[in-house]
Structure formats: C-alpha cells, structure tokens
Structure 1
Amino acid sequence: HWHGQKPPYRQDGVADRNIPLIAAGESRGYDYLPTPGTHWMHSHGGLQEQALLAAPLIVRSAEDLAADVQEVTVLLHDFSFRQPEEILAGLTGGAGGHDMEGMGGMPGMAGMDHSGMGDNGTAMPMTMDLNDVEYDAFLANDRTLGDPLVVRVERNGRARLRVINGAASSAFWVELGELRGTLLAVDGNPVLPVTGSSFPIAIAQRLDLIVDVPTGAFPILAQVEGKTQRTGFMLASPGAAIAKVADVAPSTAAPVDLSLEARLRALNPIPDRSPDAVLTMELTGSMAPYLWGINDHLWPNVDPPVIRAGQRVVLDMQNRTMMAHPIHLHG
C-alpha cells in the first residue's frame, strides 16, 4: 500500500480486495502520478506490517530538490520478538491475554464503549487505553538508542527531518531537546509554519520539521505516549562527541492529543464551499471482545454510504471508544 499516495483504486495495495495477492515469485508493476511529500509504503496483507514490512516513500517536488537543506528520513517502529500472530492472540484471547499497562478501571474494561454507571447511578470515569502490547524495543531506522543512527550535519547547518511513524500500534512524541523546529508539512501536506520543540505523531502520521543545528551533538527522541520508553537518533556536527542517551525517559509521556491539529492551517487550502453531504462515522468497539467497527458494523459486513462523483463530502468521525484509532482514506 502506497500510504499517502493517490493511485487508481486497483493499485491501492489493499490485499486481495481490489486486486489478487502477489503470489510467491510473482512481480507486479504500479504506474500512477506520484503525490509529492513524505509518505511510506507498507504491506497490507494480514499482520505483515507488524513484522516491519514497511519503508519510506519520499516524493520530492522541484522546490525540495532546489532547497539548500540536508534531508534526514527516519522511520519509527515498535518491535517484538514474538510473532504477530502471537501478539494478536494475546489481544483477542481475553483480558488476561494482553498488556494492561496504561489502562484504568477493571481489567478488560477500559476500552469498552459503555456508559460506565456505578451502583449509585453516578458515572464512573473511564481511562484511555494507550498501549495494548508490551513491545521489546522501539526503533528509529531499525536501531535503538543503544546504537543510534548518527547523522553528521555541517556546522550551523539546516536539516529537514522527515519523520514517519510506521509503528503498528504506538504513538510518539517527537522531542527536539535543545533545538527548535519548524513544522512545514503533515502527512505530506504543506502547512503554515508551526514552531516548537515537541510534536505528537500518531500511528501512520508523517511530520516534516526544519531544524537549525549548531556545533555539537543533539538527540532527536521519540517517546511512546503513556510510557517512559523511547527511541531516536542523533544530529551532530563533524567531530562532535556522541554521548550515550538512555532509552528510558525520566518521566512518562502524556497521551498524544489533538493540540497540534488545532494549530494546523493548510498552506494551500481547498476552495471554501458548502458540503453536499455530511456523513457521521462512529468508531465503535471494545477491548473484550477485541472487536472494532464503524457505526457498529464489523468488516467485512459493512454498510458503505453512497456518494456521487463531484460531491464535497464531510466525514464527521466520532470516537465512541477509549482507544485512539488512526484513520485515513484508501483508493
């Protein structure tokens, strides 16, 4: 699947839906007009994405090619020595089968969509379910902070960080430490500049950050929401010593929220126009059983809305669960 691209739907890469699977030993060509930006490609077959079958997919515009900036592309992953099938079995096998860290209330109940009424008729507060799986490591370009990627940047140079969250089920906070960054694009879409030193990145999301790098070595870290675990890489001027950085942070990271989205403004917004249709999509499901749907319909037993070519449609996504769900359009 060419994540972030807009190919004809039969070339979208959804396994065994729009086109048959690629058989062992078979090859297949794809031909479409690429969309510039920071994107990525990954398997859409079974649980293969958890097995790290993914790679960056960078499409450079003419402006990108002319820019006097050093590009650094980083792909984040969550890694387990367990097979993906074993991880899924732990999630679907009942409350005792999955990691309960970051979950509140009774085991197996934190992700459920229900009113949470107590014996006295008052509402019981529910806690977000942040992390279902206990991973063995978190990776930046397949490396941990024990042996991180070190990118040498010329003294007082400028770098464009193309950060891709290719994790199967982990969201991060990208921490620039002593540096300040300017966000120029999200998911390959140019935005009005947003400055800061800490940026949330959800599952499958991409951030383009410009940083000016003085003399020295500077860790760029990605800490998992709701955890102390982190990964990252180093930006360093020539000859700068590289200090060891612990893969455990001093404090737990906050949940990834919508604070960044609230600040985003498209550099090239679509023309203002009233929508022809507003479709409500309720994200539904529960941790026990571990089933998730849209408008209470589970794949493949879905009830797709019908729209017409040329319509402007607003999708009103309402998350009725206590778990975050990454959503993006296919086809």
Structure 2
Amino acid sequence: MHTNRRKFMLGSTGLLASGLAVPAWARGESLSHARQGFGEVSGERIALSVDRHHFGVGGRKGHAIAVNGTVPGPLVRLREGQNIRIDVTNNLAEDTSIHWHGLLLPFQFDGVPGVSFPGIKPGETFTYEFPIRQSGTYWWHSHSGLQEQEGHYGPLVIESAEPDPRYDRDYVVLLSEFSPRHPHEIARMLKVGEHYFNYQMQTASEGDMPLDERLMWGGMRMNPRDISDVTGATYTFLVNGHGPMDGLEYLFAPGERVRLRIINGSAMTFFNIRIPGVPMTVIAADGMDVAPVEVDEFQIGVAETYDVIVTPPAGSHALVAEAMDRSGMGLASLTSHKGHRATPPPLREPVTLTMADMGMGSTDGAHGGALNHDAPGGSHGGMDHSGMDHGGGDASPAMDHGSMDHSMRDTSNLPPDVKVGPGNDMVAPMPMDRMDFPGLGLDKVDHRVLRYTDLKAARPNPHRMPTRQLTIHLTGNMERYMWSFDGEKFSAVTDDPIRFAYDERVRVKLVNDTMMAHPIHLHGHFFELVNGAGMMDQPLKHTVVVQPGSTATFDVTANEPGDWAFHCHLLYHMHAGMMQTVTVRPFPAPEDEA
C-alpha cells in the first residue's frame, strides 16, 4: 500500500479511515475520564493538585504534568456572580502557577510569576480568590517556564447568570498537542535550527512559484513553507486529551442545537476548524458574544476561543481540527449513533507563504488586501485604501519584485525607538492591515471562512475616542530563534513596562515585521478590534492574531489597575522573549472614598 511522508505523519487518521482496529496504546491510557478526557470541578471552593505524570497517545509516550490526575486538567465550571476560592497545591519539584486566561480579576491573582505574584513554591498551596464578573468560554494554564506544553492546562466555562435559550446541548472542545520530547529539548532544537521540525520544505520544482520569487526567497535564506515552528513531526494533535485514533465522540439527537465551546489550548499550533457538510454559527469570540455569523470553516489562533452552534443531521460527522501547516489533525466524531465514527477528510496540501506574508504588499485583494471600510457590505472590500485611516493600514500598490529595494533583513526603515541588533534582523517594508485575511491556507478555499471583519459585538459597546496611539513592532531573528517587541526581549525591559494611566483610552497598533503569525494576548483586559465595524460594534477580544508582514489595531480602555503580562501566546516565542509588562496606574480610590 503506497503512502507518503505527509500522510504517514497523520498515521492514526489514516488507520481510522481505512477501518483498521485501534491498538491499545491509542486509547488515552493515562486518562482517568476516558470519554471526556478530563474531570470537572465546581462550587464555591475548588482544590487543584499539580503533579508529575506520564502520558501516552498515538504511540508516543513521555513525561507530563497533570492537574487532579489528568492531562488536560479538569474543566473548571463557574457561574457569573459567584465569589470563588481555588486552592492550588504544588507537588512538583519546581515552582508552578495558574493563569486564568481571559478572566477579569485583581492582578495579584492573575497568576504570572515575576509580574503579578511570586509563583507557587514546591510543597506550597496558593489560594486564588476573586469575584466572577463575566460569563463565557475560557481556559487556564501554567505561566511558569514551559509547563503548559507538558500538560498543565485545562478548560474553564462560566455559566451566565441568565439561562441561555440558544442551544440544547453543550460541549467543550479543547485543542492541544502532545510531544514525547521535553519542552526544553524542543526549545534547544529550535535554537539549533528553526526548520528542525519542518518536513514540508519545497523542492526545486515543486509548486507554481515563479523563478524570480524562488531566487529571492533563497537569497534571503528564508523558507516559504515556514508556517509552524513545531509540527506533526513531534506533535500528536489532541481533542480533550485524545488523539485522532481514540474515537472521541460528541453525541447528539437529531434536531438538537449543539453548542461547541472550542478552545485552542495548544502551545504552538493554529488550527483550521470544520465539520464537513455541517455549517457552524459563530456566537462568541474569546468568551464575548458576537452577532451570529454562519461559516463553514475558521482558523483559531493559539489561546483564542470560539463558540459555535451547529444543528447536524442524523449520522456521524467529522469534527476536524487541521493544523495550519497541515502536518496533522485533531479529530472527533459528532454523532447521533453511539460507537459510530465519522470518516475524516484527507489532509490538504501544505501552505506556501507569499509576498504579502513578507510585508511586501499584495497583488490581489483575496490574499489579505487592506480593508476598505467604505466598500458595499462593509468588511470584504477590495484594495481601495482611501477610506481607511485608523492607524492600522500602511497600504501599498503591487510591487515589481525584480526591482525591489527592500528585504526582510533590511532594518533601515524601522523607527528609531525599535532596537536593531542580533535579535532583530527583519522588517516588513510595506505592512498592511489584514483584518480581512482568513488565515494562512484559507484564502483560497471555495467555502465560507470566518474573518475578523465578520465579527461584530452582539450588543453595542460604550465608545470613547482614544486619546493617544501606541505602536508596537513584533520583531525577531528566525535563524537564531530570538523573538521580541520593538527589538528588545523581555529580560531586557523588565524595569521599563508599557505604561497606561488608569481609565486611559489608547489605540494600539501592532506591526508584525516577521514572517510568522503571532497571537498577541493582553492579560486582565478586553480590547476592541478596529476591524471595520462601527465604533459601538467593534468586537471585544483578549487575543488577536497579527498576520505575517501585517498590522492589526485595537482600542483598549485601561480600567483594570495593576501589572499585566502582554505577550505572544506561541509558548516558545514568549519563552524566547516576546513579552512585555503593561502597568496601569494609579489605583483608583475605594468607592466609599470616591
């Protein structure tokens, strides 16, 4: 039976499709909750225990960190309006922590060692205590070292104070990855060679890239298949801790409206989500309700969450989470017949970067042209940039590649406050706003794909005009695997935070000078995407994906005092230095003194 390397990488899905028996090692052996993948905790006081563990899936076994005995850790289910106390006991031989991703809370309980608290020492118990001020789909994870990669993460659902009539059945879909390699070994390999895990490099004759572009990529020593730093070469992609051969099922009755709370709890993987033949209605992004929008597929960046409602017909349907670089997939079955597995689609062809991904302009609107807010229908306009000036678009006409004066390694165009050195050797010559771009690999599909420009707040947001603008460059040296903001990694700026005045309204423009997509997360706040929606309809998010060679803009009201982490949520990028601290001062006076 003929196969190729890419199909073999998926392995388990191929066996599933062929109907072969599932071997014992593929059944999530270390999971004590075989069907769900994790337990559930709730109530006014919750206890979590962090321990060393072993984990095995898909023939890969290795060391892990378990919380309450499972990888992932338990679903923490809370309710809006309650006061919660969570006791976290550290049974490791090293410090640990838990960050409550997307929650609004006092900064000292945000769980970032060195920023908002000292961490949890071995043998100690730390009590998190805070009121629940919101509802929606979130998650939690360690913010200590690389523990998140080892299994120290889990889902978090906050039930709304009022019943939600939009669905009949409710499921968590937690996406992640597992590698038998220790994360510090992965970090070392990335330092040695940034393409270490990339088995999808182009050959001299593969694809339809023009010769002049091939020569240009080669001259800059860059790889147009550099989509993901860590791939299916070492990762098994998981849904609720289960590999693609485990047969994870989500049961439903025909006619039911099923809510899927999709969480990207991975360390490094963007996923493309689809249920072939079943449309999805997006109703929330990052826990916040949005106006419903029906799509057939969407890309979810690391640390983002999307809630969708589906009404599948009777039968079994593949719930597919395909890695953005298409080196593998997570898989489950949405089925009305218990024990019946859906047949998954094959992996699609690998993605190849373009000139637009290098920040060198775009020759067609379908591949990430800047927004035209005056276009009919609002969000999907062409390349007319005359109507846009919100600090996010530095648009340019199509380029003559043969006479190009700039390259990703020319840093002369960076502003003077952006540090140039060994850790910053890239600059996007002409970055454009790409809020209308659906994600790498999804701009050429023939079905409906979600774009940030499709998102609108479900209810109007009070709006204030920003009083100042802040521009931050996302920088790095891919060959040395160094990542930073404004050319300086976190260890160099720990005493020089980004400063916001309490209740200040700021427009933040992120300029991605690199060839990789970065999911940028601000702790303790929600911001409004400047995505072409009306001022009061801009959607709230806590994480925004900044596409390669592009800009993204958001408005934030700094109304949560304290010190907050601000970083790329690709774990190894953050570990290498792509992080800053945002400090919001002064603290407001207590209400009884105001």
Q: TM-score, normalised by structure 2?
A: 0.50
Residues 196-219 of structure 1 deviation map (CA, whole Å, 9 limit, x = unaligned): 110110111101000002211111
Within 5 Å, give how 1:90-169 maps onto structure 2: 90-95=189-194, 98-101=196-199, 127=224, 129-133=226-230, 134-169=233-268
Equivalent positions of 1:1-331 (< 5 A) are: 1-34=99-132, 35-64=134-163, 68-95=167-194, 98-101=196-199, 127=224, 129-133=226-230, 134-238=233-337, 241-245=340-344, 248-252=346-350, 255=440, 260-302=451-493, 303-330=496-523, 331=564
- SS of 1:143's equivalent? coil
The answer to whether the Cα contact below 8 Å between 1:128 and 1:322 also exists between their aligned partners in 2 is no
Provide the secondary structure at the position in 2 that maps to 1:31: strand
- Following superposition, the deviation at residue 238 of structure 1 comes to 4.0
Deviations 1:18-52 (A, max 9, x none): 21121222212112222211100000000001112
User: Which residue type is aligned with residue 190 of structure 1?
Assistant: D
List per-residue Cα deviations over 1:78-124 (Å, max 9, x = no partner). 2111011110000112457x22346679xxxxxxxxxxx96xxx999
Query: Given that residues 201 and 256 in structure 1 are in contact (C-alpha distance below 8 angstroms), is that contact kept between their aligned partners in structure 2?
Result: no
Give the aligned residue type for 1:307.
F
**Greater CA drift, 61-70 or 314-323:** 61-70
* Contact in 1 for aligned 2:318/2:332 (Cα 8 Å): yes
What's the secondary structure of 1:234's corresponding residue?
A: strand
Residue pair 2:198, 2:229 contacting (<8 A) in 1 also: yes
RMSD of aligned Cα (Å): 2.8
SS of residue in 2 equivalent to 1:22: coil
1:174 CA drift (Å): 0.3
Match of 2:19 in 1: none
Mind listing any 5+ residue stretches in structure 1 that lack a counterpart? 106-116
Change (3 A) 1:244 1:176: closer
Spell out structure 1 runs of 4+ moving beyond 6 A.
122-126
1:320 is matched by which residue type in structure 2? D
Report how far residue 135 of structure 1 moved: 2.6
The answer to which of 22-31 and 74-83 deviates more is 22-31
2:224 is aligned with what amino acid? T
What is the CA distance between 1:233 and its match in structure 2?
1.2
Answer whether contact 1:164 1:207 (CA < 8 A) is retained.
yes
The 1:32/1:65 distance shift into structure 2, 3 A limit, reads: farther
Deviation of the 1:244 alpha carbon: 4.6
Residues 11 and 210 (structure 1), Cα distance of their counterparts in 2 relative to 1, 3 Å cut? same
Structure 2 distance, partners of 1:325, 1:62, is 34
Contact 2:317 / 2:343 at 8 angstroms: preserved in 1?
no
CA distance in 2 between counterparts of 1:165 and 1:250 reads 20
- In percent, how many aligned pairs have the same letter? 34
- In the superposition, relative to structure 1, how do residues 161 and 68 fare at CA in structure 2: closer, same or farther (>3 Å)? closer
Q: Which residue of 1 aligns with 2:434?
A: none
Asked whether the equivalents of residues 202 and 256 of structure 1 are also in contact (C-alpha less than 8 Å), the reply is: no
Which structure has more relative contact order (CA 8 Å, sep 6+)? It is: 1
| Paired residue type of 2:520 | I
**1:213 aligns to what SS in structure 2?**
coil
Give the Å deviation of 1:262.
1.6
Measured in 2, the distance between the counterparts of 1:286 and 1:125 equals 11
Q: Structure 1 pair 243/294, CA: closer, same or farther in 2 (3 Å)? A: closer
- Going from structure 1 to structure 2, the CA distance change for 1:124 and 1:29 (only over 3 Å counts) comes to closer
Give the conservation status (yes or no) of the 8 Å contact 1:171–1:256.
no
Look up the match of 2:369.
none
By how many angstroms is 1:282 displaced? 0.4
Paired residues of 1:219 and 1:232 also in contact (CA < 8 A): yes
1:130/1:327 CA distance change after superposition, 3 Å? same
**Is the partner of 2:520 in helix, strand or coil?**
coil
